[in-house]
Amino acid sequence: MRIMTDLEPLGQVPLPTINSQTLKRWGEVPVSQHASVSVPLGADTPPNSPFLKDDSINHKLILWEGDIASLQVDAIINSTNESMNDVNPISTSIFQRAGTRLRDEIKAEVRECKTGEVRVTQGHALPARYIIHTVGPKYNVKYQTASENTLHMCYRNILQKAKEMGLHSIAIPVVNSLKRNYPPDQGAHIALRTVRRFLERHGNSLDTVIFVVDKLDLGIYEVLLPLYFPRSKQEEEAARYQLPSDVGGPDGEPVMPDRQIRIIDNPQHTLHADDENASRTPHLEISLGDAGSFAQMQADPDRQRLLGERPITDPIANIIIQELEHQERYEKLLRRSKTEDLSEVSGIGCLYQSGVDRLGRPVVVFVGKWFPFNKINLDKALLYLIYLLDPIVRGDYVIAYFHTLTSSNNYPSFSWLREVYNVLPYKYKKNLKAFYVVHPTFWTKMMTWWFTTFMAPAIKQKVHSLPGVEYLYSVMSPDQLEIPAFITEYDMTINGLRYFQPGAPT
């Protein structure tokens, strides 16, 4: 039995201690106790899930809401700042229970911890033997890739340090924090896939990994855990449709996606909020005609191997090449949209511009009932989308989507939506100021939440569900909104004639 280094004051009630062996393992939790993962209607079949059902891994995992300082494990993790004096619920609880000797040890021996790195101290009066301290990154959308890489390194270094020390049980809180502006759902994806990949490779070194969460993160982890740690073949199958496009590399590290470029010196460097002054442009100021020197840097990999040429390893060059390739792909689609016959799509009338809102921003209308997803040529649908929106999205714009009287035949698959979202360049997301969903159903709300959480977080805060057309009048004048008659008729049946009378409330 471990001897406590700090004696409890006379008469003080002993603090509770939780033995991790008494907690229910993830593999033992019935699926019905957590949010189920549903397959969207009309979804295409993607490749097999990269995270297969593994009972041995699921038995090592615990999801627990509670005070991390009360856990009796080999090590608990403290998410702190560079000076190791952060004031947050986790650190406060740990320092209070560990006693004054913890601060003395940090002051005398540890002193500081850089972002992405870890430091180890004794547990002192804690039930845990050790404390592994780490510093999560500050999130800045301009340097999103650096933030993701650094957060991955936090979790990776925690697990590696536990392995080096021969520890068998660890408790990990949510390292990313709203205090540092990190989106909680994005951080959860990185945490889960990093732990999953580590357990796949080094599972023998750890018997217990506890995800310690608060009420805010509990719901997020309950939804995402089945994607990375499926407990049944049904969850494994459903995960194929719900996982984001970036599921990480061999160690769960972020893979550079096709999106706005972020150039950094080193993804493990400390990130600060004042990095706003760093030189970076939202788009590369290089025309495709000037890209020859960059394109030459990426020779054919087979030729490199056969001739013994050294492959390009410069991360900045690779990022630039990827961005140029993504931009070139979009430019090709834009040129096709101006030359091909798109009358079979444009004639449907499901997508068009309808006036401007009260701030003078173009309003794009999408009529869900008129979008025959199962019958339309999806390639031409994408081309028409680009043809219509490219001149509009050069400035601010808004979208009004009418879900009125739609059926399963009108619902696009997640795989197609993800493809469209990835094809469209950054200006589409940046200049979109609002996405209004009118007459939403429960299905719409669920699918919108899934899509904006796992695939399109950049527009999550811009989506608004509206129960009636009148609610649009606060942002646009009625005479600027042209919509099919069936929408107004349906709205009258549920909201009344007053919704369409002149001078409707704004």
Amino acid at 200: E
Calpha distance 220→198 (Å, rounded): 21
Q: Which residues of 216-233 are buried (b: 16+ CB within 10 A; e: fewer)?
A: ebeebbebbbbbbbbbee
Q: What percent of the chain has pLDDT over 90?
A: 46
Rounded average pLDDT over 299-328: 54
Q: Is the distance from CB of 203 to CB of 60 less than 8 angstroms?
A: yes
The H-assigned helical ranges of 140-244 are 144-164, 184-202, 215-228, 233-242
Pairing of β 362-367 and β 351-356: antiparallel
Q: pLDDT value at position 65? A: 94
Calpha distance 326→340 (Å, rounded): 21
Above 70 in pLDDT, residue 274? Answer: no
3-state DSSP call for residue 463?
A: strand
18-242, CATH topology level: Leucine Aminopeptidase, subunit E; domain 1 (3.40.220)
Strand order in the sheet with 75-80: 61-65, 208-213, 169-173, 75-80, 130-135, 118-122
Calpha distance 129→199 (Å, rounded): 22
Q: pLDDT value at position 255? A: 80
Using CA of residue 242, residue 248, residue 253, residue 256, what is the dihedral sign?
negative
Calpha distance 348→365 (Å, rounded): 13
Calpha distance 228→248 (Å, rounded): 12
Which two structure tokens, joined as six digits, stand for 302?
A: 């087979």
132-191 pLDDT, tens digit per residue, is 999 999 988 778 888 999 999 999 999 999 999 999 999 999 999 888 888 888 899 999
- Could you state, in order of their start, the residue ranges of all structural domains in the chain? 18-242, 282-339, 346-500
- Closest alpha carbon to 77 in 177, 2, 3: 177
Q: Is the distance from CB of 208 to CB of 192 less than 8 angstroms?
A: no
Rounded average pLDDT over 422-449: 86
Neighbours of 387 (CB within 10 A): 19
Q: Is the distance from CB of 75 to CB of 94 less than 8 angstroms?
A: no
Give long-range contacts, CB 8 A cutoff, 24+ apart: 218-225: 218/63, 218/65, 219/35, 220/184, 220/185, 220/188, 221/63, 221/188, 221/192, 222/34, 222/35, 222/63, 223/34, 223/35, 223/37, 224/185, 224/188, 224/189, 224/192, 225/26, 225/34, 225/61, 225/63, 225/192
Which two structure tokens, joined as six digits, stand for 266?
A: 């080193």
Which two structure tokens, joined as six digits, stand for 358?
A: 């009260």
Above 80 in pLDDT, residue 15? Answer: no
Above 60 in pLDDT, residue 483? Answer: yes
- Closest alpha carbon to 283 in 240, 326, 336, 334: 326
Mean pLDDT comparison of 171-175, 321-325, 487-491, 500-504, highest-scoring range: 171-175
Nearest-5° angle of CA 355, CA 358, CA 362? 35
| Reduced DSSP (H G I as helix, E B as strand, rest coil) percent helix, strand, coil of the chain, to 5 | 45, 15, 40
Above 90 in pLDDT, residue 7? Answer: no
Class of the CATH-defined domain 346-500: alpha beta
Mean pLDDT for all residues in the chain = 80
3-state DSSP call for residue 133?
A: strand
Q: pLDDT value at position 285? A: 33
- Closest alpha carbon to 396 in 348, 357, 349: 357
Using alpha carbons only, how large is the chain's radius of gyration in Å? 26
State the pTM of this model. Answer: 0.53
Nearest-5° angle of CA 62, CA 67, CA 69? 100
352-401 pLDDT, tens digit per residue, is 999 899 899 999 999 999 999 888 899 999 999 999 999 999 999 999 99
197-218 pLDDT, tens digit per residue, is 999 999 899 999 999 998 878 8
Q: pLDDT value at position 220? A: 85
Q: How many CA atoms lie within 13 A of 309 on its CB side?
A: 13
3-state DSSP call for residue 168?
A: coil
Pairing of β 169-173 and β 75-80: parallel
